[in-house]
Amino acid sequence: MNIFKKESRNDYLFSQLKTNFYWWVLITGNDNDSIRSLTQINAKNTIENINLINNSKRKCFWSPEFNQFISLGYLTRLYSLSKNYLQLLSHTKSMLDIIEQTLIKVDDCDCFKFTSGLFHYFSEHARDESYFFKAGLLFYPESNSEYGIKLLNEATKSENLIISSEANYFLARIYDDNEQEMPSAIYHYSILTKIYPNNLIYLYYELKAMIKVNYSKEILLQKKQKAMLSINNNSQLILNQANYFKNIFEELEI
């Protein structure tokens, strides 16, 4: 184990894995300065290690480009939470610069279908929602939200389970929060809960969407009971996670 740690310490994939872990801890009832700091440190380490290693032999999901994009994404979300808007804008620009370089690579790799799909949808959405973002995106490529959804749908068919899962999750949230197309949202949530039956985040959003469209009380109660059982039987939940999930599921009115 010590040999593994020594060899992987400067590998950006190792620090990326740690960033993923701390982010999930943060969003499941443990949003505090310590966890935010650990998430930020590992995201920054990933970017620094990419600059050190920059292994061009690693392609697609493992590539330096994709992992730098993911790390910058974590940092922008952290700066958004802390309302540090200067850093937020700076890191958002860095993300957009990476996406701009990979927009022409959508046929090379599913991960670039995913990032390009996000760019097209959310850039167009931001341009429609805010003059501020429209001005900020003035010098970036034109975007098309329908094309963005098309690329994300293609990414859901990726053989890489992480890419397909992320694409399904973003499509579910897009249809749920922005497009108000609940059948499509539930379709993508259901794919995720089938693959990850004990993922409480996916179960929560699926149940919440089903409540919105008035599924029968019997079905909703079964879903809720399944989630509560998963919480009680999950020995991997740490810190405040069990209480956090119990609270958010109990707050759902059926």
Q: How far is CA 72 from the centre of its chain?
A: 12
| Distance in angstroms (rounded) separating the CA atoms of residues 106 and 123 | 17
Pick among 1.10.150, 2.60.40, 1.20.120, 1.25.40: CATH of 158-254? 1.25.40
pLDDT of residue 138 exceeding 70, the answer is no
**Chain length of the chain:** 254
Q: What residue spans define the domains of the chain?
A: 7-143, 158-254
Backbone torsions φ then ψ of 74, nearest 5 degrees:
-60, -45
Choice between 2 and 236, residue whose per-residue pLDDT is larger: 236
| Distance in angstroms (rounded) separating the CA atoms of residues 167 and 159 | 12
List alpha helices for 103-240, DSSP H.
110-129, 131-136, 145-155, 161-173, 182-195, 200-212, 217-233
Residues in CB range of 176: below 8 A, 6 or more apart? 182, 185, 189, 205, 209
pLDDT of residue 53 exceeding 80, the answer is no
Nearest C-alpha neighbor of 238 from the set 5, 38, 22, 66: 22
Lowest mean pLDDT across 12-26, 41-55, 72-86, 125-139: 125-139
What pTM was computed for the model?
A: 0.84
Structure token pair of residue 59: 């392609």
